Chains A and B, each alone.
Chain A
Amino acid sequence: GNSVTQMEGPVTLSEEAFLTINCTYTATGYPSLFWYVQYPGEGLQLLLKATKADDKGSNKGFEATYRKETTSFHLEKGSVQVSDSAVYFCALSSGGSNYKLTFGKGTLLTVNP
């Protein structure tokens, strides 16, 4: 079956530090890959996505590249801000018309001023 493994947190960084959150997946076929973010007290919201190999998703300074050869979709940001403090979820969909998302367990990021 499908599964997503992401690095366990919590991750604590100082403002302007470089961020990497690792994510690897197991899936049949050619899944689409997503990063969702959950700010305190809120629901999840889509941060970025990639639908095929070598695609790069980007938004708000965050980037992730779909690497089929390593089955990875690592999230990166060059300079984090306090406002980036949140829980980040890696997820995949089964592809095609199947909207069933499989999520990783989430990584809590805390950015200190």
Chain B
Amino acid sequence: DAGVIQSPRHEVTEMGQEVTLRCKPISGHDYLFWYRQTMMRGLELLIYFNNNVPIDDSGMPEDRFSAKMPNASFSTLKIQPSEPRDSAVYFCASSFRTRRGTGELFFGEGSRLTVL
């Protein structure tokens, strides 16, 4: 079975440009998460969706960041305009509800973003 698929794997852009990261969750999963990983701050939850609806976006750094999930098989994380401090690895993860409510997260391989 295919896992969580993210694209692009690597993105190098210049400050001020728009960046769009994409994620395809595992089929049948009803939760989708966007995380950011940096050396300084570790893994930070940016936003998560349940059944395509944003549930908690309190981790989104500022208005330059936005995320959408138009359907159960696709999500985007957009940064506009991008800044050098946005350089990080962005992970998408998906999960499904279990009887005990503590499902395992399945992570994609990440999108490494470098903003010059």
Contact = CB atoms under 8 A, between A and B. Distances in A.
Range of interface residues on B (Cβ < 8 Å): 20 to 34
Interface in A57-104: 89, 93, 95-104
Interface of A: 32, 36, 41-46, 49, 51, 89, 93, 95-106
A46 B91 CA distance: 15
Interface string B86-110: 0000010101010011111111111
A95 to B, nearest CB: 7
Main secondary structure, interface of A, reads strand
A43 B34 CA distance: 12
A89 B115 CA distance: 26
B100 A44 contact: no
Contacts of B101: 95-99
B109 A43 contact: yes
Nearest to B50: A99
